[in-house]
Amino acid sequence: MRRFTALLVVVSLLVLASPAGATTSRVDFTGTQQTVGIEDPGDEWFSGPIHHVRDRQLLGVSMPDPSTGLPTGTTLGTLNFNIDTTTFHGRVWGEATLDYGDGGFETTFSGDISTADVPGGVLGELKVVGRGYGSFEGMQLRATVNEVVLTGSATFEGTLFAPGDR
């Protein structure tokens, strides 16, 4: 279902790990993300009211708060979920990559989806962890993403840090 493509947003918060962030031992960040497309719908099936999706590949754009000095980036993520279609409660998990050409982050994410009193009605609350590669080698990322599932728009906040300096 297209409404769950927005969960990729979680991954895009990795954008914060820009070269500006790589020169310090700790960078706190906030921002927004928008899911912009489905690269591969993956496998999808129902067992009773439970909607299952595996290996859905999503594309998103992350926009960190300009005050951080971090760039806008793109993320390719692989999403999996099990959602009860009668309550819109369930679990979501997956992996995502943010690449700046000379480096980026490989991440994993997981969290809950539940009905919420927000426009769009369904909120995903996800935790993201990632390890840097290339010019970000040795850096780690921790973040929280809150996404309105039906619109694909999300907000995120987190920290980019060197191990031992969380």
Q: Tens digits of per-residue pLDDT, 104-160?
A: 789 999 999 887 766 666 788 899 999 988 877 898 989 998 888 778 888 889 888
Within a domain: 106: yes
Residues 6+ apart with CB under 8 A from 124: 6, 7, 10, 92, 111, 112, 113, 145, 146, 147, 149, 154
pTM for this structure? 0.79
Within a domain: 62: yes
What is the CATH classification number for the domain harbouring 96? 2.40.160
Within a domain: 29: yes
Mean pLDDT of 64-86: 82
Q: Tens digits of per-residue pLDDT, 39-60?
A: 899 999 999 999 999 999 989 8
Within a domain: 103: yes
Q: How many domains does the chain have?
A: 1
pLDDT at 12 over 70: no
Share of the chain above pLDDT 70, in %: 78
User: What is the CA angle 55-121-93, rounded to 5?
Assistant: 25
Please give the single-letter amino acid code of residue 5: T
Q: What is the pLDDT of residue 14?
A: 38
Within a domain: 166: no
Within a domain: 110: yes
Domain span at residue 96 reads 2-161
Mean pLDDT of 66-90: 84
